[in-house]
């Protein structure tokens, strides 16, 4: 049995800078002199690193661009012989180029931007072509909304104040750095939370990183949601309709029902990660990355559940 090598990469894209209408886009291909090939930027995971973080890091190292991570496009597997005989597993994501400049390096000596159809003709490998096809299945410009369940809080029995003031536990505080790092991969620009200390504190670091304040959402607390589900869903979709990359922190008594209602709303695609579940997962400090169509009435078209180790 061959060894396994885990890697991650991205379909790096941007609006065509020469198209004033903003309707066309380009994707980046990199040339690796060691193999004399044209491929999507990718690389091996570092020890303890997740696929999403690796994809963002590898794109930056190979292309010089800072990105906003997008949806997961799929995983490809193929045999390699260098540096050893193994099977390589590569997870690919969409990634919007935000800023940067390419500079030749040891691994990549050239980068070229191509329109989508033309890029496929220049790729050296069929598995890269499949990832570009997966990227083209949905619009490039989607709103990524991060729905977060608050980190672990202290026990109710050990707290004698109002429940809304119950703070995070020591374990909950340890959950915050990886959660903040994960959210940062998507370049969030707005942060919302149910008006409970444990919810606000869970996303405070994300808000600080983005340079914004946490906006409280009473309807997205368990107390506010009960009996006002339709109004709460409408508020949630209003946040999604604002575009960009919002973060919303809520509670375990809200998130599963909210997800089911949003997934079943008009215009939303049947999302396999949601609809077969009678009660969608929602562990403490976990994140649902929800992708909505941009502009107008947002429709949910993809969803990914990320649980912290």
What was the pLDDT predicted at 274? 62
For 125, residues 6+ apart whose C-beta sits below 8 A from its C-beta are: 37, 39
- The arithmetic mean of pLDDT across residues 171-196, rounded, is 97
How large a percentage of the chain has pLDDT more than 70? 94
Question: Which band of pLDDT confidence, cut at 50, 70 and 90, is reported for residue 272?
Answer: low
Question: Which band of pLDDT confidence, cut at 50, 70 and 90, is reported for residue 212?
Answer: very high
Checking if the pLDDT of 204 tops 50, the result is yes
Question: Among 2.60.120.1140, 3.30.870.10, 3.40.1550.10, 3.90.79.10, what is the CATH number of 3-136?
Answer: 3.90.79.10
Domain ranges of the chain: 3-136, 142-306
For 137, residues 6+ apart whose C-beta sits below 8 A from its C-beta are: none
Q: Are strands 142-149 and 287-293 parallel, antiparallel or unpaired?
A: antiparallel
pTM of the shown model: 0.94
How large a percentage of the chain has pLDDT more than 90? 81
Which residue has better confidence, 156 or 220? 220
> Which two three-digit tokens encode residue 105?
């390096």
Checking if the pLDDT of 1 tops 50, the result is no
Task: Give tens-digit pLDDT for 244-269.
Answer: 999 999 999 999 999 989 987 766 66
Q: In what order do the strands lie in the sheet with 142-149?
A: 214-216, 190-193, 246-250, 142-149, 287-293, 300-306
> Which two three-digit tokens encode residue 51?
């696929």
DSSP-derived 3-state class of residue 170: helix
Task: Give tens-digit pLDDT for 79-136.
Answer: 888 778 899 999 999 999 999 999 999 899 999 999 999 999 999 999 999 999 999 9
d(CA 94, CA 10): 5
- The arithmetic mean of pLDDT across residues 154-162, rounded, is 85
Checking if the pLDDT of 9 tops 70, the result is yes
- The arithmetic mean of pLDDT across residues 261-282, rounded, is 71
Say if residues 117 and 269 touch (Cβ distance below 8 Å). Answer: no
Which residue has better confidence, 135 or 19? 135
Task: Give tens-digit pLDDT for 32-90.
Answer: 999 999 999 999 999 999 999 999 999 999 999 999 999 999 999 998 887 788 999 99
In whole numbers, what is the pLDDT of the chain averaged over residues? 92
Instruction: Give the architecture (CATH level 2) of 142-306.
Output: 3-Layer(aba) Sandwich (3.40)
Question: Which band of pLDDT confidence, cut at 50, 70 and 90, is reported for residue 207?
Answer: very high
- The arithmetic mean of pLDDT across residues 231-251, rounded, is 96
What was the pLDDT predicted at 205? 98
């Amino acid at each position: 049995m061959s060894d396994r090598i885990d890697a991650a990469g991205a379909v790096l894209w941007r609006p065509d800078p020469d198209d004033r209408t903003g309707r066309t886009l380009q994707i980046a291909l990199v040339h690796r002199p060691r193999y004399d090939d044209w491929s999507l930027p990718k690389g091996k995971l570092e020890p303890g690193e997740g696929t999403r973080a690796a994809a963002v890091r590898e794109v930056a190292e190979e292309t010089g661009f800072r990105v906003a991570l997008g949806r997961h496009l799929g995983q490809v597997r193929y045999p390699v012989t260098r540096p050893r005989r193994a099977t390589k597993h590569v997870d690919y994501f969409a990634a919007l180029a935000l800023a940067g400049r390419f500079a030749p390096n040891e691994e990549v000596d050239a980068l070229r931007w191509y329109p989508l159809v033309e890029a496929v003709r220049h790729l050296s490998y069929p598995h890269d072509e499949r990832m570009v096809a997966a990227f083209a299945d949905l619009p490039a410009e989607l709103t990524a909304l991060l729905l977060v369940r608050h980190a672990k809080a202290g026990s109710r029995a050990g707290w004698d104040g109002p429940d809304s003031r119950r703070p995070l536990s020591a374990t909950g505080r340890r959950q915050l750095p990886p959660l903040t790092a994960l959210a940062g991969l998507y370049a969030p620009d707005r942060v919302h939370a149910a008006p409970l200390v444990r919810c606000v504190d869970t996303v405070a670091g994300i808000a600080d990183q983005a340079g914004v304040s946490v906006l409280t959402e009473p309807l997205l607390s368990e107390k506010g949601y009960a009996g006002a589900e339709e109004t709460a869903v409408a508020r949630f979709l209003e946040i999604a309709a604002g575009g960009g990359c919002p973060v919303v922190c809520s509670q375990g008594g809200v998130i599963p029902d909210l997800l089911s209602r949003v997934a079943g709303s008009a215009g939303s695609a049947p999302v396999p990660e949601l609809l077969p579940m009678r009660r969608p997962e929602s562990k403490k400090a976990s994140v649902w990355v929800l992708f909505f169509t941009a502009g107008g009435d947002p429709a949910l078209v993809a969803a990914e559940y990320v649980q912290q180790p």
